Amino acid sequence: MDKNTEVPENVDQYIQNFPVEIKDKLLEIRNLIKSTVPDVEEYISYGMPAYNHHGVLVYFSAFKNHIGLFSVPNLHPDFVEKFKPYKTGKGSVQFPHNKPLPVDFIKEILEFRVQDNLKKAK
Protein backbone atom coordinates (compact mmCIF):
# COMPACT_ATOMS: atom_id res chain seq x y z
CA MET A 1 0.00 0.00 0.00
CA ASP A 2 2.99 2.32 -0.09
CA LYS A 3 2.80 5.24 -2.47
CA ASN A 4 3.30 4.60 -6.15
CA THR A 5 6.68 5.52 -7.57
CA GLU A 6 5.05 8.03 -9.92
CA VAL A 7 4.62 11.47 -8.41
CA PRO A 8 0.94 12.46 -8.50
CA GLU A 9 0.01 15.65 -10.32
CA ASN A 10 -2.48 16.78 -7.67
CA VAL A 11 -3.99 15.79 -4.34
CA ASP A 12 -7.01 14.08 -5.94
CA GLN A 13 -4.68 11.81 -7.88
CA TYR A 14 -2.61 11.13 -4.75
CA ILE A 15 -5.66 10.07 -2.73
CA GLN A 16 -7.04 7.85 -5.50
CA ASN A 17 -3.98 5.58 -5.18
CA PHE A 18 -5.15 4.10 -1.86
CA PRO A 19 -7.76 1.57 -0.72
CA VAL A 20 -11.11 3.04 0.30
CA GLU A 21 -10.54 2.86 4.08
CA ILE A 22 -7.29 4.83 3.77
CA LYS A 23 -8.74 7.10 1.11
CA ASP A 24 -11.55 8.04 3.52
CA LYS A 25 -9.05 9.08 6.19
CA LEU A 26 -6.99 11.07 3.71
CA LEU A 27 -10.13 12.87 2.54
CA GLU A 28 -11.06 13.53 6.16
CA ILE A 29 -7.69 15.19 6.78
CA ARG A 30 -7.89 17.13 3.53
CA ASN A 31 -11.41 18.38 4.30
CA LEU A 32 -10.38 19.32 7.83
CA ILE A 33 -7.46 21.36 6.50
CA LYS A 34 -9.66 23.15 3.96
CA SER A 35 -12.46 23.86 6.45
CA THR A 36 -10.05 25.09 9.14
CA VAL A 37 -8.01 27.23 6.74
CA PRO A 38 -10.35 28.09 3.82
CA ASP A 39 -7.76 30.13 1.89
CA VAL A 40 -5.03 27.47 2.14
CA GLU A 41 -3.00 26.68 -0.98
CA GLU A 42 -3.00 22.96 -1.84
CA TYR A 43 -0.27 21.33 -3.94
CA ILE A 44 2.02 18.30 -4.19
CA SER A 45 5.49 18.57 -2.65
CA TYR A 46 7.92 15.73 -2.01
CA GLY A 47 5.31 13.49 -3.67
CA MET A 48 2.66 14.16 -1.02
CA PRO A 49 -0.19 16.58 -0.34
CA ALA A 50 1.15 19.87 0.97
CA TYR A 51 -0.56 23.00 2.25
CA ASN A 52 0.69 26.55 2.41
CA HIS A 53 -0.75 29.47 4.35
CA HIS A 54 1.77 32.27 4.85
CA GLY A 55 4.42 29.53 4.75
CA VAL A 56 4.30 25.75 4.93
CA LEU A 57 1.31 24.68 6.99
CA VAL A 58 1.38 20.85 6.90
CA TYR A 59 1.99 17.85 4.68
CA PHE A 60 0.39 14.42 4.96
CA SER A 61 1.15 11.02 3.52
CA ALA A 62 -0.20 7.48 3.81
CA PHE A 63 2.04 4.54 4.60
CA LYS A 64 1.46 0.84 5.18
CA ASN A 65 0.40 1.18 8.83
CA HIS A 66 -0.22 4.87 9.40
CA ILE A 67 -0.84 8.34 8.05
CA GLY A 68 1.98 10.76 8.68
CA LEU A 69 1.37 14.43 9.34
CA PHE A 70 4.42 16.63 8.88
CA SER A 71 5.50 20.13 9.99
CA VAL A 72 3.73 19.71 13.31
CA PRO A 73 4.64 21.37 16.64
CA ASN A 74 5.35 18.13 18.53
CA LEU A 75 8.33 19.66 20.35
CA HIS A 76 6.39 22.78 21.38
CA PRO A 77 5.80 22.77 25.17
CA ASP A 78 2.03 23.24 24.77
CA PHE A 79 1.80 20.04 22.70
CA VAL A 80 4.30 17.59 24.24
CA GLU A 81 1.67 15.76 26.33
CA LYS A 82 -0.87 15.63 23.51
CA PHE A 83 1.62 13.91 21.20
CA LYS A 84 2.57 11.21 23.74
CA PRO A 85 0.00 8.61 22.53
CA TYR A 86 1.51 8.73 19.02
CA LYS A 87 4.80 7.82 17.42
CA THR A 88 6.60 11.06 16.55
CA GLY A 89 9.74 12.29 14.88
CA LYS A 90 11.10 15.80 14.64
CA GLY A 91 8.13 17.74 13.26
CA SER A 92 6.07 14.65 12.45
CA VAL A 93 3.41 12.42 13.95
CA GLN A 94 1.98 9.05 12.92
CA PHE A 95 -1.73 8.24 13.18
CA PRO A 96 -2.21 4.44 12.98
CA HIS A 97 -4.74 3.10 10.48
CA ASN A 98 -6.33 0.89 13.15
CA LYS A 99 -7.50 3.87 15.23
CA PRO A 100 -9.85 6.76 14.42
CA LEU A 101 -8.22 10.00 13.38
CA PRO A 102 -7.97 12.48 16.27
CA VAL A 103 -9.86 15.17 14.36
CA ASP A 104 -10.05 17.69 17.21
CA PHE A 105 -6.32 17.32 17.85
CA ILE A 106 -5.46 17.72 14.16
CA LYS A 107 -7.61 20.86 14.04
CA GLU A 108 -5.76 22.23 17.07
CA ILE A 109 -2.44 21.55 15.29
CA LEU A 110 -3.68 23.38 12.18
CA GLU A 111 -4.88 26.39 14.17
CA PHE A 112 -1.54 26.56 15.96
CA ARG A 113 0.39 26.33 12.68
CA VAL A 114 -1.72 29.14 11.14
CA GLN A 115 -0.98 31.44 14.09
CA ASP A 116 2.70 30.46 14.09
CA ASN A 117 3.00 31.21 10.36
CA LEU A 118 1.24 34.55 10.75
CA LYS A 119 3.64 35.55 13.55
CA LYS A 120 6.63 34.60 11.40
CA ALA A 121 5.22 36.51 8.40
CA LYS A 122 5.10 39.81 10.34
- The structural domains of the chain, with segments of one domain joined by +, span 11-117
Partnered with residue 67 across adjacent β-strands are 62, 95
pLDDT, tens digit, 9 for 90 and up, residues 15-58: 999 999 999 999 999 999 999 999 999 999 999 999 999 999 99
Name the DSSP letter for residue 67.
E
Q: Does domain 11-117 have CATH number 3.90.1150.200?
A: yes
Q: Each residue of 74-105: pLDDT tens digit?
A: 889 989 999 999 999 999 999 999 999 999 99
> Nearest 5°: CA angle at 92, between 50 and 19?
60
Q: For residues 9 and 66, give the distance between their C-alpha atoms in angstroms, rounded to a whole number.
A: 22
- pTM across the whole model: 0.91
